[in-house]
Amino acid sequence: MEQWLGELSAVETTVLAAIIGSLAAILAGFVSGLFTLMTPWMDHYFRRGRYRKLFVFELSDIIRHCEANVELMQRIQDANGIPARMHLEKMLVFETGMIFDNEMLSSMPVWLQRRFVGIRVAVRNVNLELTDTIARLFGDITPSKDEINQRFQYHLAKFRYLQERLESEVSEALGKPYQPHGGRSLDIIVIKPFKK
């Protein structure tokens, strides 16, 4: 083979390289098109396959956490004061589930990885924002009542958004509307009531 390639002129080598490059581009286009055609099949496999159960289980757990957090945020606002730190710390979403396991994530199809990564970013952002609020509320200088209420309204909206987004993902995976689990009664401890 080397002897044959050595006998080619510069022009012939250039032509051969152009032909090989063109064939590689055609092959890449074919493979890309094939994956595009396979997407509906992959979605069907997801609905019936093993990843669907994992996906639904993982997201349902976070949805239940969001439901409890929405109820807790409403109770905190009704209590009209700063809650005990433990209430806010328990609102953090655990980042130990399957969607946070890079090894598990890398074993899934790319299209499913993308969905989980988007959710992972949303959960991480909620946790960062809540951690900032905890630090602000229990820092050296207590924020004003208006700032506290503004932060609580913001977190309430963020948990509702995350809950709705995850319910939509689960509904799509199940092929039917997601059924909420229903709330539970939560009591809170107010450590600093606001002055009336």
C-alpha 7, offset from chain centre: 58
On whether the CB atoms of residues 132 and 150 are closer than 8 A, the answer is no
Mean pLDDT score of the chain, rounded to an integer? 79
Q: What is the pLDDT of residue 153?
A: 92
In single-letter form, the type of residue at position 166 comes to L
* Same-domain status, 7 and 93: no
Are 42 and 106 members of one domain?
no
What span, in angstroms and rounded, lies between the C-alpha atoms of 54 and 56? Answer: 6
**99 and 28 housed in the same domain:** no
Q: Of 27, 48, 69, which one is at a domain's C-terminal end?
A: 48
Averaged pLDDT, 163-173: 87
Once rounded to an integer, what is the mean pLDDT over residues 113-138? 90
Same domain, 167 and 189: yes
Are the C-beta atoms of residues 84 and 189 closer than 8 Å to each other? yes
**180 in the same domain as 126:** yes
In this structure, the answer to whether residues 24 and 60 fall within a common structural domain is no
Identify whether residues 156 and 60 lie together within a single domain. Answer: yes
Q: By residue range, what is the domain housing residue 29?
A: 1-48
- Verify that 130 and 186 share a domain, yes or no: yes
Phi, psi for 72 (deg, rounded to 5): -65, -40
* Per-residue pLDDT reduced to its tens digit, 73-116: 888 888 888 888 998 999 998 888 777 888 877 877 777 788 88
How many structural domains comprise the chain?
Answer: 2
The per-residue pLDDT for 112 is 77
- pLDDT single digits (tens) 17-63: 778 777 777 777 766 765 665 556 555 555 456 667 777 888 888 89
* Average of per-residue pLDDT across 69-73: 89
- Same domain? 100 vs 118: yes
Q: What is the pTM of this model?
A: 0.67
pLDDT class for 193, splitting at 50, 70, 90?
A: low
Closest CA to 97 of 51, 53, 49, 57: 57
Question: Are 31 and 91 members of one domain?
Answer: no
**152 in the same domain as 102:** yes
Same domain, 24 and 115: no
